Structure 1
Amino acid sequence: MSMYENILISTQGQTAIVTINREDKLNALNMQTLSELSAALDEIAADSTVRGVIITGQGAKAFVAGADIKEFLDQTAMEASALSRYGQEHVMNKIHHFGKPVVAAINGFALGGGLELALACHMRIAVSSAKMGLPEVSLGIIPGYGGTQRLTHLIGRGKALEMILTADMITASEAKEFGLINHFVETYEELMEKTLAILERTYTRSSTALAAAIEAVNVGLEDSSRGYEAEIHLFGKCFGSADMKEGVAAFLEKRKPNF
């Protein structure tokens, strides 16, 4: 893996751990960090030894406390749109469509662009002390990295609009109740243990099938009229894979599959 200035990448078994490493800035997302995340995701996608990804923040205070507001100063509407497009297309959408499971380990504040980063992940786990929110309207703007769309898909229009329009933060307990996160735990150690445990369960399954399942779910979210057809196509496509042959053989032979 390449070395980066604003992110750290380590591996634990088959899991790549990507840590936003700007603790003194509460891990805020500036343009350089977005660029490094995009490049790192490409590297991880191409690495056959990695089967899953954890995204987290450095330190005990913040996952990512938002975008780097200093970069907003003096931006024109056109420049701001370009920034939003870059973040969405090169980072958030890349995570959303990633062919390997990506889990956000929310170790502290996940606000603005930080919450949008977590929303782009396939699953989210948080410490109980974490706070989440989209405060953009307090700055006279709206979420620009997919937050208005992904939050609504996860928790529904009413709850999403309440969070966006009030700009209020919610607790991990509320986030779990709303369906924004999958689980919450008490400590950082438990956070990483839980996140790794979930990913490692997926490693006992077919990586071909996991990628197909992610794609099928995403197609249905983006265009519900195409979801069922995508599922039919991907279901059939799986039948041509070596994983399917191994999975069926293992089932009939009453043994664990070797994926």
Structure 2
Amino acid sequence: MEFENILITTEEGIGWITINRPTKLNALNVATINELHEGLKSLDQDNEIKAIIITGSGDKAFVAGADISEFANFTVAQGAKLAENGQNLLFDYIENLTTPVIAAVNGFALGGGLELAMACHFRVASENAKMGLPEVSLGVIPGYGGTQRLPQLIGKGRAMELIMTAGMITAADAYRTGLVNHVVPQEELLEFTKSIATRILKNSPVAIGHAITAVNANFKEGVNGFKTEIDAFGTCFGTNDFKEGTTAFLEKRKAVFNGN
């Protein structure tokens, strides 16, 4: 599939997606959201890809926000549909992928950009990154899961303050509050994130997928996370990866997983 707004490359089991709208600071529009969905879907279906990294082109922005010009004149119904479609197609989709997705946040991650980063399984930021949810300054609220995921990551009080002030925080503050896992110099961001993905590649893909599902279950209303964990734990016993992992451990050698 040909893409206009994203670039996709693969390297040694890692899929790279670069949002490539430099003249718009990589702002998300409907077309880019659709392309991200298709790109992620194709990488997730590739048996050779065991981790995915999402970043933005250039050195100024991961994603500077949503493309406001697209929805400035929307009706109530159109606004609700925009949020629903975006959440279903991209943000919830990423969260529930069983292939690990890491955000490499290079520069501004605002509004939909921060929501995209938060939908990923974890985040690495460059030292110059700035993050925030400024939607209330436009008379609207975060619509791509920001009001839900930000409190999960940094706590209700901090999330309330950041949303209500429409402010930005630095990468250092994002690290201090748990919003990002690591902060590194910008020139080291991609290589550092790749090093984490490479460590993930050494482990069982099927077990990692079950772990993602179990962790997510704790944050889903009406779902018993402990029961999800128990079921997933038991399921792992029937996999080839479990047999290989335990056999390799007993034989004192490195396991070679096939993801089945």
TM-score, normalised on structure 1?
A: 0.98
Within a 5 Å distance, the mapping from 1:138-157 to structure 2 comes to: 138-157=137-156
Query: Within 1, Cα distance between the matches of 2:96 and 2:192?
Result: 23
Partner of residue 36, structure 1: 35
2:236 to 235, 238, 250: 238
Partner of residue 220, structure 2: 222
Q: Secondary structure in 1 aligned to 2:73?
A: coil
Does the Cα contact within 8 Å between 2:134 and 2:167 map onto a contact in 1?
yes
Query: Within 2, Cα distance between the matches of 1:142 and 1:101?
Result: 28
Partner of residue 104, structure 1: 103
- Percent identical pairs in the alignment equals 53
Partner of residue 136, structure 1: 135
Q: Write out per-residue CA displacement over residues 202-232 of structure 1, whole angstroms, 9 at most, x where no aligned residue.
A: 1110001000000000011113760000000
Query: Within 2, Cα distance between the matches of 1:225 and 1:246?
Result: 31
Partner of residue 208, structure 2: 210
Partner of residue 17, structure 2: 18
Q: Write out per-residue CA displacement over residues 216-258 of structure 1, whole angstroms, 9 at most, x where no aligned residue.
A: 0001111376000000000000000000000000000000000
Q: Secondary structure in 1 aligned to 2:142?
A: coil
Query: Within 2, Cα distance between the matches of 1:139 and 1:174?
Result: 24
Q: Secondary structure in 1 aligned to 2:203?
A: coil
Q: Which amino acid aligns with 2:111?
A: G
Q: Which consecutive residues of structure 2, in runs of 5 or more, have no partner in the other structure?
A: none
Q: Which consecutive residues of structure 1, in runs of 5 or more, have no partner in the other structure?
A: none
Query: Within 2, Cα distance between the matches of 1:3 and 1:219?
Result: 35
Matched residues, number: 257
Within a 5 Å distance, the mapping from 1:71-150 to structure 2 comes to: 71-150=70-149
Q: Runs of 4 or more off by more than 4 Å in structure 1?
A: none
Note the C-alpha offset of 1:60. Answer: 0.5
Partner of residue 160, structure 1: 159
Query: Within 2, Cα distance between the matches of 1:143 and 1:222?
Result: 19
Q: Write out per-residue CA displacement over residues 91-123 of structure 1, whole angstroms, 9 at most, x where no aligned residue.
A: 001100111110000001000000000000001
TM-score, normalised on structure 2?
A: 0.97
Does the Cα contact within 8 Å between 2:65 and 2:113 map onto a contact in 1?
yes
